[in-house]
Structure 1
Amino acid sequence: MNQSEANLHAIDYWQVIKNRYGVILLTFLLVFMTALVITYVMPKKYESKAVVQVRPKGTSANLIPGTGDNNRAAMEMGQTFFPTEFEVIRAQKTLDKAIEDLDLVNKWNSEPEAVRRTLRSIVDAENIRGTALIEIRVRYSDPKDAQAIAKAVSEAYRERRTKQQSEFAVQAMEQLRRAVQQQEDAVEDKRKLLSQIIRQEKIIYQGDQSLFQGSGGFNEADDAENATKAFLALEQDKIQLESQIETLLKYDGEQLLNYAGGLGLPDNIIPTLLPQYQEQKREFEGMKSSGLGSRHPTVEGQAAIIDKMQQDLVEAVANLREILKAKLELAKEQSLKLEARMNEKKDGAIKKGIANQAFVDAKNDFETSQRLLEQLKIKQISEEMNQKVIEEPIIIHEEPTLSQVPVSPNIKLNLALGAVVGLIFGVGVAFFLEYLDTSVKTLEDVERYLQVPVLAVIPKDVGVLYKQSGMSPDAEAYRILRTNIEFNRKNPEDNAITVVSGGAGEGKSTTLVNLAYICAQGGYTTLMIDADLRRPRLHTFFDINNSVGLTNYLTTELMLEDVILQTPVDNLYFMPSGILPADAAGILNSRRMSELIQDVKQRFDLVLVDSPPILGVSDASVLASEVDLTMIVVQHRKLPRNMLLRVKQAVENVGGHVIGVVLNNVDVRSDSQYQYYTSYYTYYAPAESQAPAPSSSPNQPAAQRPSSRSSKDDSKQDLY
């Protein structure tokens, strides 16, 4: 199927259903009756159910607040809780307990394994949505047994659940007692370790507060830090002294004096002497500038003062250098002592820190273990008190009852499903057959695959028109055919047409007779030649003797007037087939046959030649080569499309020309796509019509019939 066929419109789908409603109805009835029979033969089953409530461990009220294990209860009531409980209900141990209580092995006289399998197949469980309730359902052929089994299974399940929960509680309590004992031993060991550290390190332990004896408010870490700071400060002073001494040794003269004067030391007299010395020098220079000579008593006295002050400065600088050296030596000695003290304090701080950390770790470990022990003891007390309270894990809210009405089979449901499935299956079969059906279904099929026009659509069950009383509305289809032949033949002289079909029974002969009748009614002198020398039928439509006809003319010296007869219809003439020969194709493929065709073309307005099926024998191919045009009759929904292509190719291979196709035997009532093509002619059909009166007997020779058209030439008038 191509894309256009795959994308059918909704109307096309409805058309398929209408065309194959018989298949759909048959399939529907078969499936529906099958469902009815299956429902009838199915054994009746009765249902009994018990409704129970499941209470996981930990959902009961806690006597001591804060000790409830809500997380465990939430985990138990997870997604897998109810599926697990369903399997527990149908488990072997539960069913075995029910079998034992009801003595089903002896009651059913069967093996234990067989009884167990039977119970597993009839027992089912389901959670009631949004609740913690479970329905335990039993379906069995005996309503009393169904009730008893449902009750026994629910009781067995309750007993198993109660026993399991009790055993679990005992085991949990025993594990809790062991955990408390082990924790008590661990707390005692940690307490002993903490006491040992306290005694060794002389720590005053008072709950969360602890002091190291002899610390005086300071710890070893503080002492080590202070010693380090003092050592670093002294080292800084020592470096400064060394720098000052090096600078004093490096400078001389005025630079030395200026640098020494800037040192802020308590024994330094240079800052006092240096300004005086500089003032005396300025006065000395002033004297010399005033014109006094170097030997002037005043100048010499001033020079002596300056020399004395300069000598004092030099001695002061020397003394300052010695003072700095002394201080440096003292600083070095103090640095060594402070370094030793600093190292000692650091070692002590490290030892005390290690001891303190061991104490802190031991104290924290002891206190943590002690708190855990207290929690375990509280949990133990809570569990012991909760065990004294009776907790029922399974509560039965609804006891099984005796069912009076069977729940299976559900007759209404089964029949409804049978009807729906039958309808769906029937429609599916119809569309599947439609998919497999490659026959011609539409006008588009013919024109697409054969590339020739459809000349007419002939409705289904159209009989022989000339035998019908009055003017039949079905005749309009053949009038359309006559009109389309006129407009589709290119040459008006092409008036010899053979009618062929792919197979037998497609309505070829009936189409030819009705077309000839309509053409004769329209004033055409029409000749029908029965060239089907295998199974001739045209003579049966007119009740004419078939003993003399075409074969006699082709094999003897008979005249044309001897083998052409006029029918009861005006302007309609007929040449029977004659005696059937042994070699039909050889007789038709003769020069006399060609001369016959050329002769009757001149004598008649229209010559219609009937032929056997073209795919069965070669006669039709011979006739297609002799006549001017070939018209193919195709029965609706019969031959596959590839067979129709072979029909066309058979005509074209011998040089014939296909004028078009007649789509025959179309059920316009079911195929709505043809209604527009065939409905209008019935609208114009007259309400009362008159049948033409026959003018002569059927077996009267054509030479004795009057002419129906005076416009024909003399050669045509010879036959009239």
Structure 2
Amino acid sequence: MELRDYIAVLRKGWVFILVLALVGVAAAAGFSLLKQPVYSASAQVFVSTQTSGSASDLAQGNTFTQQRVLTYSNLVETPIVLLPVISSLKLDMTSDQLAELVTSDAPLNTTLISITVNDTSAKQAADIANATSESLTNVVQNIEATDADGTSTVKLTRVKEAQVPNAPVSPNVPVNVVLGLLVGLALGVGVAVLRETLDNRVRTESDVEKISEKPVVGGIAFDSKASERPLIVQVDPRSPRAESFRTLRTNLQFLDIGTGSRTFVMTSSVESEGKSTTVANLAIALDSAGFRVILIDADLRRPKIATYMDLEGGAGLTDVLIGRATIEDVAVPWGRGNLIVLPAGPIPPNPSELLGSRAMQDLIAGLEQQFDYVLFDAPPLLPVTDAAILSKKASGAIVAVASGRTHKGQLAGAVSALENVGAPIAGFVMTMMPTKGPGAYGYGRYGYAYGYGLQDEETPMPKAPKRGRVAATRGAER
């Protein structure tokens, strides 16, 4: 992943990251509030030797004292020192339990011993520290060697008395909250990156570019009411979603397909990616711009165009291919423009054979002479071979890719299905793109028509009534 990919992950998952950060803060705050406060108090003793006062005696005494300090420091946590403390303060604990509260430290090259006590009671922490320093002084005087007068050669003096602390040393609420925040943020970012790494769905144009070099020629925003109003270009021509189909129309005009014909097969990797509504709206958009267009439902397994266009679909492409009818018999003019619709007709037992037949080749050749655009709605590429076979006879296939639904492996398989039979790929159309969030679809994002106005659009066409066969197509009448 590149830097921009990580930034995109953070933008897309910022809510999740924020939630985990807040959870971390709440957990740290809760832990701090529930944990019993611990107070710390320290006393300090100075170790010295009794000497005659000569320079040599002082030097020897200082060396002796520094050697002894570490030993005395280790004595602090032993029962011989702690048992008198328990007795004097009447503590309800054993010497081992008290040793867990007491620590000692002897700074290097000094003759000082620091005694620190951590306790849940501030006063008791100070009392134990002072009592321990006093007990250590007595123990050292008793166990060390004495001179001829019976006086100990080592003297311990308390130079710092432990004071009752005003505030606990633990828990440190600010530090805990900051640590909780950092842990929550780190966990949130890690989970977000992991989810993105494991997510194999196509979400953006860059995901498509990693699979194929062919361009993304359009992007269609997600519409939760698409099933209720599939022909958005007709029912709401001034909506942003309708404008995206006009942008797709414009991009097709600039698309270099290497041939003079404009015959496109709209397909997808799997079903429910929005290919049928896309090609139907594209046909209406091309028609509204004055082009002669024929829309053919070549999905001979699950045809939908007749339903979307509100037409009778009893006769259609199947009848033409088997020679039972001519296109003039079954093609239906739609609206008040130059759009002709050819429904699928009866579902045959051999769709692939019909679409790959010589009759289909001849039909396409004839239609390319009559129409500016010939648009096919074909089945998905992965379940069946129909679309790949048909695309080989056309100018190119336009593959619909549902953002956030199509898996990268599925799209790669669809591209391979077309390439394996030598079918040209004209481009891709991103469908169902999110309208909110960092990956949201933007108006005019995919093409040359950014800011394209609606002034030149015709008045919305009324829906054509259900019709049967017509004597001739409008393209033929021209």
TM over 0.5: yes
Number of the residue aligned with 1:700: 467
Between the aligned partners of 1:650 and 1:36, the Cα distance in structure 2 is: 57
| Alignment-mate amino acid for residue 160 of structure 1 | L
Number of the residue aligned with 1:426: 188
Deviations 1:606-631 (A, max 9, x none): 12112232123333223323433111
Between the aligned partners of 1:440 and 1:520, the Cα distance in structure 2 is: 31
| Alignment-mate amino acid for residue 434 of structure 1 | E
Between the aligned partners of 1:128 and 1:116, the Cα distance in structure 2 is: 25
| Alignment-mate amino acid for residue 55 of structure 2 | G
Q: How far off is 1:518 after superposition? A: 1.9
Task: Work out the number of aligned pairs and report it.
Answer: 470
Change (3 A) 1:523 1:72: farther
Between the aligned partners of 1:539 and 1:546, the Cα distance in structure 2 is: 5
Deviations 1:501-520 (A, max 9, x none): 22334332232223222211
Q: How far off is 1:397 after superposition? A: 1.4
Q: How far off is 1:659 after superposition? A: 1.6
Change (3 A) 1:497 1:681: closer
More helix by share: 1
Between the aligned partners of 1:91 and 1:546, the Cα distance in structure 2 is: 98
CA contact (8 A) 1:520 1:569 kept: no
| Alignment-mate amino acid for residue 27 of structure 1 | L
Equivalent residues in 2 for 1:639-718 (5 A)? 639-667=406-434, 670-671=438-439, 677-678=445-446, 681=449, 683-686=451-454, 692-694=459-461, 697-701=464-468, 703=470, 707=474, 716-717=476-477
Between the aligned partners of 1:75 and 1:528, the Cα distance in structure 2 is: 105
| Larger Rg belongs to | 1
2:257 to 489, 498, 521: 489
Number of the residue aligned with 1:185: none
Between the aligned partners of 1:696 and 1:640, the Cα distance in structure 2 is: 36
CA contact (8 A) 1:124 1:137 kept: yes
SS of equivalent residue, structure 1 residue 455: strand
- % of aligned pairs identical? 27
Number of the residue aligned with 1:137: 117
Number of the residue aligned with 1:504: 271
Between the aligned partners of 1:672 and 1:157, the Cα distance in structure 2 is: 70
CA contact (8 A) 2:217 2:427 kept: yes
CA contact (8 A) 1:45 1:407 kept: no
Equivalent residues in 2 for 1:417-496 (5 A)? 417-440=179-202, 443=205, 445-461=207-223, 464-486=231-253, 487-493=255-261, 495-496=262-263
Between the aligned partners of 1:666 and 1:75, the Cα distance in structure 2 is: 82
Between the aligned partners of 2:252 and 2:322, the Cα distance in structure 1 is: 32
Query: Normalised by the size of structure 2, how large is the TM-score?
Result: 0.79
1:393 to 157, 166, 171: 157
Deviations 1:243-275 (A, max 9, x none): xxxxxxxxxxxxxxxxxxxxxxxxxxxxxxxxx
Change (3 A) 1:609 1:678: closer
| Alignment-mate amino acid for residue 248 of structure 2 | L
CA contact (8 A) 2:10 2:192 kept: yes
| Alignment-mate amino acid for residue 604 of structure 1 | F
Change (3 A) 1:492 1:701: farther
Number of the residue aligned with 2:377: 610
CA contact (8 A) 2:291 2:373 kept: yes
Query: Over aligned residues, Cα RMSD in angstroms?
Result: 4.3
CA contact (8 A) 2:117 2:125 kept: no
More strand by share: 2
Equivalent residues in 2 for 1:63-212 (5 A)? 64-70=53-59, 73=62, 88-91=75-78, 93-101=80-88, 104=91, 107=92, 112=94, 116-117=96-97, 119-124=98-103, 134=114, 136-140=116-120, 143=121, 147-148=123-124, 150-152=126-128, 154-170=130-146, 173=147
| Alignment-mate amino acid for residue 24 of structure 1 | I
CA contact (8 A) 1:50 1:154 kept: no
SS of equivalent residue, structure 2 residue 416: helix
Between the aligned partners of 2:73 and 2:295, the Cα distance in structure 1 is: 87
- Are positions 1:630 and 2:390 aligned together? no
Change (3 A) 1:415 1:48: closer
Number of the residue aligned with 1:24: 17
**Which runs of 5 or more residues in structure 1 are unaligned?**
175-383
SS of equivalent residue, structure 1 residue 429: helix
